[in-house]
Amino acid sequence: MAQKTDPIAVFDSGMGGISVLKEMVRLMPEEDFIYFGDSLHAPYGTKTTEEVRKLTIGHIQHFIEDLHAKAIAVACNPATSAAVRMLRQMYPDVPLVGVEPAIKPAVLACSHPRVLVMATPVTLKEEKFHHLEAIYDEQAEIIPLPCPGLMEFVEKGILEGEELEHFLREKISPYLEKDLTGIVLGCTHYPFVRREIRSIVGSSVEIFDGSLGTARELLRRLTVAGLHREDNHKGTVTFLNSSDDPDKIRLSAYLFSREI
């Protein structure tokens, strides 16, 4: 049986889920976290649903059964779509959350929203995205923008500079004349390049990501399950990675320490 003092596991195919981890640590500083990046098998966005599901379920089983994680955050869009429903059936008593593009807050933020959704091509093809788009399509102009290659900048630790700026300008500039009200960062990697995006779109366009919403939902589920730690313990964060490259752990710690 899970204990309040057991850790929370946060899972992603690489480094992007650290943006979600940061919000969880801010919201729940008393909790211990294990962050696992599956860099050995990244990116998940180019794999089949069956491959992503098999990898994700295998890792989550390890977190729960071997590392005694009391709760799970799947901080990866392809993994969420492929595996979260099945994982909830496998572990009905484990608080478990996934991620989704923050379209709802972007649409509700103003009266005539025009929202650019930046995401991986795979995320924009997924049923989850089309379902969200259909819900808010009559309330807003929702513009999907596939950004193949952007997550790779973050995976390499490239968070600023001419190469990244050129990439982003080429992607975003055609839409600036549409009087955008918001941009949704539909991949957990993208908040790490928020500053560069802000420099291109200016201060009048609000930028949204789902990290805080995911953190709040995990806290809610922990509380309902009676597993939220409420003592004065100073929480810890442990970084793990499937790759044997030590730079992956160093980059994880760097991204966690960086303001976004």
pLDDT tens-digit series, residues 6-38: 999 999 999 999 999 999 999 999 999 999 999
Rounded average pLDDT over 126-132: 88
State yes or no: pLDDT of 45 exceeds 90. Answer: no
Q: What digits encode the pLDDT tens for the residues 130-164?
A: 999 999 989 999 999 999 999 999 999 999 999 99
The pLDDT value recorded for residue 175 is: 96
Contact 41, 90 (CB under 8 A): no
The model's confidence at residue 125, banded by pLDDT at 50, 70 and 90, is confident
CA–CA distance, 11 with 87 (Å, rounded to integer): 13
Half-sphere exposure of 13 (CA within 13 A, CB side): 24
* Mean pLDDT rounded to a whole number for the chain: 95
77 residue type, one letter: N
Residue 128 clears pLDDT 90, i.e. is over it: no
pLDDT per residue as tens digits for the range 152-198: 999 999 999 999 999 999 999 999 999 999 999 999 999 999 999 99
Q: How far is CA 27 from the centre of its chain?
A: 16
Q: Which residues does the annotation mark as catalytic?
A: 76, 187
pTM: 0.95
Contact 68, 2 (CB under 8 A): yes
CA distance 186 to 126: 12
* Residue 73 banded pLDDT, cuts 50, 70, 90: very high
